[in-house]
Chains A and B, each alone.
Chain A
Amino acid sequence: MSNKMNPQSQNAAASGENALELRNLRKSFGKTEIIRGIDLAVKHGERIAIIGPNGAGKSTLFNLISGRFEPTSGDVLLSGERINGLRPFEINRKGLSRSFQITNIFPKLSVFENLRCSVLWSLGYKYTLFRFLADLDDANERANQLMEMIRLDKKRDVLAMNLTYAEQRALEIGITIAGGANVILLDEPTAGMSNSETSRFIELIRDVTVGKTLLTVEHDMGVVFGLADKIAVVVYGEVLAFDTPDAVRANARVQEAYLGSMLEEETQ
């Protein structure tokens, strides 16, 4: 990926800190504590898979990092800068972008428009009123590149709501990476896909996130062990283990708490 495509990652990499760091992060809804003190440090360019049983707080964790929810206590640091308490668009502008478990695209806009909308801010167009979209060569070029990257270039003018499910999931990824964010959060990107679709999709994710820091929530263990440099096992709002795939696989506590049963399910 060219430097022009990814301005934010350059600065971040130069700073030499962790791309993303969570410090004693907590979140309660009413009296129920969902996230119970999570510490996690993710280095630049690392690919982290977050696994855990349903209701463990994985999606809540993503919502806390991306600004959808505000943490009850603790800190989220993006390249060393505290970002908790900021609103989603402010966090996005700092170079963190996320996808959603339930497809979250612009249904009544075409594929091309979906992507063009998603690149505008990062290219500095903001709330521009006095220029035509058609004249913004860099935005159009960028949207076209993205369209090819997510292999939807043949569907340029199709409304997003008329795409197949797998295509919508690809568009979701396209929107997420469009702004050139350095840190990418993918919430169950392959959920609901068939096995063959999943394996192709993993290739796509790998391709489009080259050089970026990636956190992904994933249930498919094949995907997890194939894609991730490190795995964080989250159980009941806490990190049970955070290590390389092999180490996690060998971890007795993880086996006991979660992975054993998951692996059994997978093989059945």
Chain B
Amino acid sequence: MNTHTSVSNMSASTSAARQYVEFKPINLARWLIWGGFALVLVFAPMLWTSSLSHTMLSQMGIAIIVCLSYNMLLGQGGMLSFGHAVYSGMGAFLAIHTLNHISDGVWPIPVSLVPIAGGLGAALVAVLLGWVTTKKAATPFAMITMGIGELVWAMSLMFPEFFGGEGGISGNRVAGAKPWGITFGPQVQLYYLIAIYTFVCTALMFAFTRTPLGRMLNAVRDNPERVAFVGYDTQMVRYISFVVAAFFAGIAGGLSSLNFEIVTSEVVGAARSGAYLLFTFLGGATFFFGPIIGGILMVLAFVLLSEFTKAWLLYLGLIFLFMVMYAPGGVASLIMMNVRVAAFGFLKRLVPSYLLLGALTMALFATGGSLIEMLYHLQLNAAMGDELTFMGIALNVRSVASWLGCALGFAVVLGLFEWVRRSFATKWSDVQTAIEKEIKRREAAL
């Protein structure tokens, strides 16, 4: 059972019949995972060398931090926040003002510490607003975060001195001291700053899950009433965690202010908060690493998908819809379910279905997508003629053949998809039953 039992502890444990204590030392899996994560962060800009990829990688680092911080609330604390952008956004504003003070020579702080100023500022905002916010859990919490989000958004338009009004506040990240000639002018230099922050923040947020407060936050999520009867003030648990989450969100905001060198009031808006929720959920709120996937997906969607098609928000909405209905644990849970299947040696049985489902999903996107694209073209791009190309297919929005062909193709693929999905569902439940049986067998053997 206890796979982390390290060699050094084996001799000590022989006298005791059972060993329960959690062992931290030399844990190979953990070193591999964190080492791998660090290597990916180091080598990613060498693999993807274009300036677009460096921009995207920088944004991914930022998105990873902010989604992880959001998941402290959602996944670990059961707090559905509709206003997390208040904290990343306030962090961004405080960071850009700090940056400008550095540029003006007022504050002798290195630029690399600007994100921490953002984090501390956001934490302070959370100290002020968080007590009211965390007074209640569940639905009232969601409502209050939404209200505070609207409040801050309205304020951002009322105080142009701080929020910069329509134009926002801009800055220049090449400022202050330049140790070892690091100016943060080139994107790749900033990327490595972001990568360091991403690694450290991820490690710290993981560490948080292993502290008494982090564990009590899980308990508060599961059963707040019981927590009160083991001596804890549930509001205090939520409040402190909320401030910690805001701190990390503020760091992400600070990094984004360095990345874009401009902060507009849009960063505290409801749309931004909604995006955090959506992508944290897509990545998977039930596992620690889920939001990392979510952050990467967020940047891919915002940068690539939006480039690829005007209808990207519609696709995003559809994906979100299907995810909520069929895989509420997000991508992370899909991965972990299949890791479990693989661990019991049943993955081979499912591979053909996966390939088939994958191909059909592509076909669904091609056929259904062409219908959507033709509709969009008709509504938005009519001036550009009747022809368009989608996924290599030439379509004409005035031709009945195009419409009929796509509709027919879509219907056929949908039918096939449903057919394959059903047979997959049966196989899947067979595999799950087999795994349950195997677990029972192993338990009995103990």
Binding site for B on A (CB under 8 A): 66, 87-89, 92-93, 97-98, 100, 104-109, 112-113, 116-118, 120-122, 125-137, 139-141, 144, 147, 153, 156-157, 175-176, 178-179
Contacts and interface: CB of A to CB of B under 8 A. Distances in A.
A83 B240 CA distance: 27
B210 A89 contact: no
B231 A105 contact: no
B430 interface: no
A97 to B, nearest CB: 7
A97 B231 CA distance: 9
B120 interface: no
Given A98-B229, A117-B230, A153 B236 contact: no
From B22, B24, B229, name the one whose CB has the most chain A CB atoms within 10 angstroms.
B229
A133 B215 contact: yes
22 contacts: A66-B229, A89-B229, A89-B231, A89-B233, A98-B229, A105-B223, A106-B223, A108-B221, A109-B219, A117-B230, A125-B212, A126-B212, A127-B216, A132-B24, A132-B211, A134-B23, A134-B210, A136-B212, A140-B22, A144-B20, A144-B21, A157-B1
Nearest to A122: B231
Nearest to B207: A132
A122 B212 CA distance: 12
Interface in B1-49: 1, 18, 20-24
Given A132-B210, A140-B21, A179-B231, A127 B240 contact: yes
A127 B223 contact: no
B208 interface: yes
Given A112-B20, A133-B211, A121 B231 contact: yes
Interface string B207-227: 110111101101101110111
A180 B23 CA distance: 26
A219 to B, nearest CB: 22
B232 interface: yes
B244 interface: yes
State the 7 A-B residue pairs at the shortest beta-carbon distance, nearest first.
A121-B231, A134-B22, A88-B228, A128-B212, A118-B230, A92-B231, A125-B212
Nearest to B219: A117
Contact of A128 (B18, B23, B207, B213): B213
From B208, B211, B212, name the one whose CB has the most chain A CB atoms within 10 angstroms.
B212
Given A109-B219, A153-B18, A104 B226 contact: yes
Contacts of A106: 218-219, 222-223, 226
A129 B213 contact: yes
A93 B232 CA distance: 9
B5 to A, nearest CB: 13
Contact of A175 (B226, B228, B234, B240): B226
B57 interface: no
B96 to A, nearest CB: 28
Given A104-B225, A144-B20, A179 B212 contact: no
A121 B219 CA distance: 13
Contacts of A126: 212
B130 to A, nearest CB: 14
Interface majority SS (helix, strand, loop, mixed), chain B: helix
Given A105-B226, A127-B240, A89 B232 contact: yes
A63 B18 CA distance: 39
A93 B221 CA distance: 21
Given A106-B223, A107-B222, A116 B215 contact: yes
B416 to A, nearest CB: 38
From B20, B219, B226, B244, name the one whose CB has the most chain A CB atoms within 10 angstroms.
B226
B237 interface: yes
A109 B212 contact: no
Contacts of B230: 89, 92, 97, 117-118, 120-121, 175, 178-179
Contacts of B18: 153
Contacts of B226: 100, 104-106, 175
A133 B225 CA distance: 22
Given A117-B216, A121-B230, A127-B212, 17 more contacts: A66-B229, A98-B229, A105-B226, A109-B219, A113-B215, A121-B231, A121-B232, A128-B213, A132-B207, A133-B211, A133-B212, A133-B215, A139-B212, A140-B20, A153-B20, A156-B20, A178-B230
Contacts of A147: 20
B20 A107 contact: no
A189 to B, nearest CB: 15
A186 B341 CA distance: 42
A105 B236 CA distance: 20
